[in-house]
Amino acid sequence: MKKESIKEDIQETSAKLLEMGRKLSGNKISNNRLYIFSEIRDIDDLSNFSMERKLRKKDNGIKTPVILEKLSPVIENLYENLYDLNLYIYRSLKEYTIIDIRYYPKSSLEPGYRRTVQDNEPMLHCKTAIPPYLLNPEQKFDINWEHKIWNYRWKMFWLRKKVRS
């Protein structure tokens, strides 16, 4: 991803992300996009993804989604320190879809590896969070599963019962 084409690259990757979301979920996903921007933090305890997801949801919940034109200058200012940009569907509503742009800074890399990739352009990926209760990869799921706490707990309860049997 080049600095001159950040906005276009993110728009193109966002369109791919929405298509991926439509294929994987049963939701109607709006093409109207708003964005939030967050840093990927290093996790000390790699086994506790649930806690990391809760913290990220709490942090993102207080952010105001904006159009890409307002976010582009922020990303351009961080360009030299960007190692990786990951786009996720944070929430899909009838009127718009909120895309979370998560970035991993080069300054968070190990010093030896940082010197190796210092002159590399940032990578850009789109990803979809898959619920842990989904046993069949062909099965469609609710793209907003991270926000539906009771539904998530109910499905996890039945998954645990099924696994124990």
Does 111 or 136 have the greater pLDDT score?
Answer: 111
Q: Is residue 46 over pLDDT 70? A: no
Q: What is the mean pLDDT of residues 74-91?
A: 95
Does 44 or 13 have the greater pLDDT score?
Answer: 13
What letters, b where the CB count within 10 A reaches 16 and e where it falls short, cover 41-51?
eeeeeeeeeee
Does 49 or 122 have the greater pLDDT score?
Answer: 122
Q: What is the mean pLDDT of residues 20-36?
A: 95
pLDDT tens sequence across 115-156: 999 999 999 999 998 888 887 888 898 899 888 777 777 877
Res 103: pLDDT: 95
138 residue type, one letter: E
The answer to whether the beta carbons of residues 65 and 35 sit under 8 Å apart is: yes
- Residue 30's pLDDT band (boundaries 50, 70, 90)? very high
What letters, b where the CB count within 10 A reaches 16 and e where it falls short, cover 80-115?
eebbbbbbbbbbbeeebbbbbbbbbbbeebeeeeee
Place of tokens 């069949």: 136
Q: Do strands 97-105 and 82-92 pair parallel, antiparallel, or not at all (unpaired)?
A: antiparallel
- Residue 84's pLDDT band (boundaries 50, 70, 90)? very high
* pLDDT above 90 as % of the chain: 62
Of 3, 7, 4, 10, residue with least CA distance to 125: 10
82: left (phi over 0), alpha (psi -120 to 50) or beta: beta
Place of tokens 């190692």: 83
The token pair at 19 is: 């298509």
